[in-house]
Amino acid sequence: MGEEPSPVELEAFAMQRSAPFGGARPYEPAMMECVDDDDGNNGNGVKTSDEDKVAADRQPLQIDISDALSEKEKVKFTVHTTTTLPHFKKRESSVVRDHEEFTWLHNVYVENKDYAGIIIPPAPPCPDFDTSREKLQQLGEGEATMTKEEFAKMKQELEAEYLAIFKKTVVAHEVFLCRLAEHPVLGMDSNLQVFLEYEQELGVRGKNVKERLGDFLRGFVKTADELLIVGVKDTDDFFEKEKNFILEYHGRVKDSANRADRMTRALKDIAEDYSYISYAFCLLATHETGSLHRFFENASEMFEKYRKLQNRVASDQDLKLSDLLKYYARDTQAAKDLLYRRTRAQLDTDGATKGLERARLRGREIQVAEALQETTFRTFETISSTARKELAEFKQRRVAAFRKNLIETAELEMKHARTSLQVLTNVLANLKER
Amino acid sequence: MEDQSSWSKGIEPPPLRSAGGSEEGDVGFADKRITATEREEEDVVGGVHGGVLDCFDDDEGADIFTSAVSPSEVKSRISPDVPSLQLGGDSSRSNGMEAQMFDTSPDDADDLFAEATEEVSLESPEMPAVRPSDKAPTITPVSNTAKSVLNPDATNTPAAADQGARKLVSFRKTSEEVEESSGDTFDLHISVTDPEKVGEGMSAYMAYKVNTKTTLAMFSQKNYSVKRRFSDFLGLHEKLTDKHAHVGLIVPPAPEKSVIGMTKVKVGKEDPSSVEFLERRRSALERYLQRTSKHPTLMQDPDFRDFLEKDELPRAVNTQAFSGAGILRMVTKAADAVNKMTIKINESDLWFEEKQQQFDCLDQQLRKLHIGIESLVGHRKELSTSSAAFAKSTAMLGSSEDNTALARALSQLAEVEERVEQLHAEQCDADLYLFGELIADYIRLLSSIKAVFDQRGKCWQRWQDSQSMLLKKREAEAKLQWVNKPDKLQQAKEEIHEWEGKVEQGESEFELISKTIRKELSRFEKNRVKDFKNIIIQYIESLINTQQQLIKYWEAFLPEAKAIA
């Protein structure tokens, strides 16, 4: 764990290197699945070119997001690929993609029947800069009423917040691509190749209203089916157990994710309060003379430092706990989808078997029925076997990610608490000696 | 992480050890004189809560010393006279000092330092219930004679100052010993405990137990425990205000009424908000009594004593909002508000104007701070509840997890978060009670101070009115002189005499109130400085405690997380 630079340091590193709202080099993805070797080692943090070469030897397809630009409504990601795969035109390529194209890629996978037995990595969430935008607007409106320092400070904070959200979204997109790349089957998909290499825009428009409506309705059908599936008892013990587990787990992990979010938000609010209190003390200090003046100044500074630390605690908690839980909520959903597809296939097979029987009874169209039954059965079998593997991997992945993040959470909490303690004790000693 | 605080304005504190300046802005004359021994003073002040140095803070003692040192210096300072008694943290000691103060009377104007040594030798100070107000009239003549005595000695002033300084030092030391030996002799510990609901329905009320522990001679027993209700407290405040506010004493404000809070309690809802309300009120009442007891004059007020001692108090019906008295109060308040806007004292003494501005500023800033703290308290509560919720959901998650190590780690995480929640709840209490309530108290105190300034304004107005009346009477008399009506003339002369007296009285009242206010304000300032420092230190200590606990909890969790396979 010591090798990995902490997010704090990486943040500082990135901020030094990059311009505020663009070109942010993402730090290690929150979920360390990207540079996962086949022998199950977890990868390191920021990749250097040496590591790249070494990793490339082991990993045929390497993807990272080398740059990102935020424009008005959209974020554009520069996807950089290094590969040793033969069917790629170039060894290295760089293309610019926006969020919608990622979504398209995800859908392509989901709709591909061949991948029915695979847990499709969840799509990255849409970048959400709304809150930041609102605050920026508020700031602009309130500019007249604030002092220059206050304004500058708030602007700085807002920028930092924006940058943090920005980084998170970059990481989320990167993780998505990496997971696809490292999967033996999914990584070979031609659409992925197009996504990575095709230099023009993919010409993928977001779904229009009709398509969205179609999705919506399909969602309903799916939910109804899911309920049906929940009722259906699986003949296979393994899958029955898995199903129950996944269903329960999904609900709980989503719950946890929401509550972790609430906690993080409360922490952030507290940090903001301390900022305000620090400012109030500063005001008080300016009108005091003598020892109280110094006292208040020190208090003001201390609260400011403490606030920064609390902010760090909040953002680290956000990254390590909230994001972890949210990601696994989505991943568990993907696993659920897999189980759904399998059960769907099973029901299809059952239906085809019944059809075959009826056809045999009637003595007509037996071949057609037979063919159907066979295909459905084969589909079902394929899905089942891959599903077993996928689910086992899912478990492994989950445990590893939780382990890593829980350890990091604990370490970061301790680190920040120790630093806070240091700051507070120093100030206390300082104040007491007066 | 070691960023520069962007709030630091780089203001240099005023030079500390100059002859004229001292760290405590308004601390007063005595401090400023003792340049050579300021360092010692700091230590002593730190150790004994300044009670020692302030032994001179009694009216006469202070004035005498002031005059003794240098009349010219006195004039050059706009600053106030020696501050009145500072009653800091340890009420026992301060009260000890008080006792000594009340005892001394400045009969011997010549030997001012004999005064000091006399005080020093008081080993077991008694505590006669002497009222400073009785001595007040004697101040002026004494200091006047003192001044006249010393004028020829003007050249000796520096020496006298040093002598005084040295004597003061020695005094300080001795009084320190005296204090320490007298220890608990003069304490007055008041606490408010055990709110109990009496009665049912809308006529129910909460009775609080007021416990007094004292060894002061003016109380007949050592321990008291009486039951009081909220309106009793308000009644006490009314009485004290009526008696003392008009001479310029800062009467600590009583806690506010709250219809909503009380209704909830009356109706019998046992929810956390009414519990909190009761706790807030209880501690506010306690602080109110403690602050009143620390005021040298108010503490001796018989009404205050009755409040602490008597088993049964007459119901203070006047404090009810809709009583006759209540309505009268509201009307008077409205009238006052109008009048306040028109009284603008032709200020010969800039000090008062400065002070008023300063306090207005302070009021604004404290309000801002208070808003910040209330917001902090709210969010901390939210953090506490959300941590608890998270703990629960994590526990649930752990129970569905099939990997045993991870399951265990998750349940450990849940426990950690639960403990963290508890921690935050405690921190929240600290936020509220240490910080927030004190700031709120000070905001209310500032409004009392404003009231005191207004009283001064009224006094001035009365004086001015008397003067203009006198002028009228004189004019009338002059007119009558021409007309030659002997009986009317006689009457006019009598009236003039009467009004001359009133003018004199008005002037002296005004002088008195100004002086009292100065004293009160410097006492207030001292207390304020101390209170704020203490509170900030205590708050930081509570934060430190929280962080230490956090470290412990997460340290315990780490091995569990590492054990996940």
State percent of chain A over pLDDT 90. 10
Helices B437-483, B324-342: axis angle to 10 degrees equals: 70
Q: Residue A274: list chain B partners with CB under 8 A.
A: 376
Are A300 and B7 in contact (CB < 8 Å)?
yes
Are A427 and B544 in contact (CB < 8 Å)?
no
Q: How far is B440 from chain A (nearest CA, A)?
A: 14
Q: How many residues in total does chain B contain? A: 565
pLDDT at position A55 over 60: no
Q: How far is A360 from chain B (nearest CA, A)?
A: 46
Q: Residue B443: list chain A partners with CB under 8 A.
A: none
Are A249 and B401 in contact (CB < 8 Å)?
yes
Torsion of CA B515, B521, B523, B524, to 10 degrees: 160
pLDDT for A204 equals 66
If one compares B59 and B478, the residue with the highest pLDDT of the two is B478
Sign of CA dihedral B516, B518, B524, B526: negative
- Cβ-nearest to B372 among A276, A299, A418: A276
Tens of pLDDT along B356-376? 888 888 898 899 888 888 888
Distance between CA B83 and CA A7 in Å, rounded?
Answer: 55
Q: How many C-beta atoms surround the C-beta of residue A8 within 10 A? A: 16
Average pLDDT score, chain B: 68
If one compares B193 and B26, the residue with the highest pLDDT of the two is B193
Q: Residue A151: list chain B partners with CB under 8 A.
A: none
- Cβ-nearest to B389 among A259, A288, A414: A259
Minimum Cα–Cα distance from B384: chain A residue: A263
Tens of pLDDT along B287-298? 888 888 888 888
Q: How many C-beta atoms surround the C-beta of residue A298 within 10 A? A: 22
Q: How many CA atoms lie within 13 A of B455 on its CB side?
A: 25
Q: Which residues contact A161 (CB under 8 A, 6 or more apart)?
A: A132, A135
**Residue in B22, B363, B386, B545 to test binding to A, most A beta-carbons within 10 Å:** B386
Are B376 and A273 in contact (CB < 8 Å)?
yes
pLDDT for B353 equals 83
pLDDT at position B108 over 70: no
Question: Mean pLDDT throughout A284-309?
Answer: 86
Q: Is B83 helix (H, G, I), strand (E, B) or coil?
A: coil
pLDDT for A259 equals 92
CB B393 within 8 A of CB A259: yes
pLDDT for B270 equals 67
Q: Which residue has the tokens 């006279």?
A: B81
pLDDT at position B201 over 90: no
Are A399 and B387 in contact (CB < 8 Å)?
no
Give the β-pairing of B205-214 and B223-229: antiparallel
Tens of pLDDT along A58-94? 578 888 888 888 777 778 888 888 888 888 888 888 8
Distance between CA A227 and CA B539 in Å, rounded?
Answer: 54
Q: Which helix (H) or strand (E) holds B227?
A: strand B223-229
Q: Residue A302: list chain B partners with CB under 8 A.
A: 540
Q: How far is A322 from chain B (nearest CA, A)?
A: 11
pLDDT at position B70 over 50: no
- Cβ-nearest to B379 among A149, A273, A399: A273
Return the minimum-mean-pLDDT range out of A315-319, B161-165, B289-293, B348-352. Answer: B161-165
pLDDT for B491 equals 82
Average pLDDT score, chain A: 79
Q: Residue B352 — pLDDT band, cuts 50, 70, 90?
A: confident
- Cβ-nearest to A282 among B7, B13, B361: B7
Q: Which two tokens stand for residue B290?
A: 């403690």
Instruction: Assign 3-class secondary structure to A130-153.
Output: HHHHHHHHHHHHHHHHCCHHHHHH
Q: Please tell me what DSSP assigns to residue A22.
A: B
pLDDT for A327 equals 92
pLDDT for A229 equals 65
- Cβ-nearest to B394 among A245, A256, A308: A256
Tens of pLDDT along B408-431? 888 889 988 888 888 888 887 777
Task: Give the A:B interface size as CB pairs under 8 Å.
Answer: 205
Q: Residue B373: list chain A partners with CB under 8 A.
A: 273, 277
Highest mean pLDDT among A230-234, A362-366, A385-389: A385-389
CB B84 within 8 A of CB B57: yes
Are B376 and A419 in contact (CB < 8 Å)?
no
Q: Residue A253: list chain B partners with CB under 8 A.
A: 397
- Cβ-nearest to B365 among A266, A284, A425: A284
Minimum Cα–Cα distance from B436: chain A residue: A277
pLDDT for A434 equals 65
Q: Which two tokens stand for residue A314?
A: 């909040």
Q: How far is B249 from chain A (nearest CA, A)?
A: 24
pLDDT at position A332 over 60: yes
Distance between CA B565 and CA A361 in Å, rounded?
Answer: 56
pLDDT for B401 equals 85
φ and ψ at B117, to 5 degrees?
Answer: -65, -30
pLDDT at position A131 over 80: no
pLDDT at position A418 over 90: yes
Q: Is B215 helix (H, G, I), strand (E, B) or coil?
A: coil
**Residue in B367, B382, B393 to test binding to A, most A beta-carbons within 10 Å:** B393
Are B1 and A420 in contact (CB < 8 Å)?
no
- Cβ-nearest to A266 among B383, B533, B541: B383
Are B369 and A278 in contact (CB < 8 Å)?
no
Are A300 and B372 in contact (CB < 8 Å)?
no
Strands (E), B452-511: none
ipTM of this complex: 0.78
> What pTM did the predictor assign?
0.68
Q: How many C-beta atoms surround the C-beta of residue A19 within 10 A? A: 9
Q: Residue B397: list chain A partners with CB under 8 A.
A: 249, 252-253, 255-256
Listed residue (A127, A134, A202) closest to A167, CA to CA: A127
pLDDT for A206 equals 60
Are A427 and B540 in contact (CB < 8 Å)?
yes
pLDDT for A217 equals 78
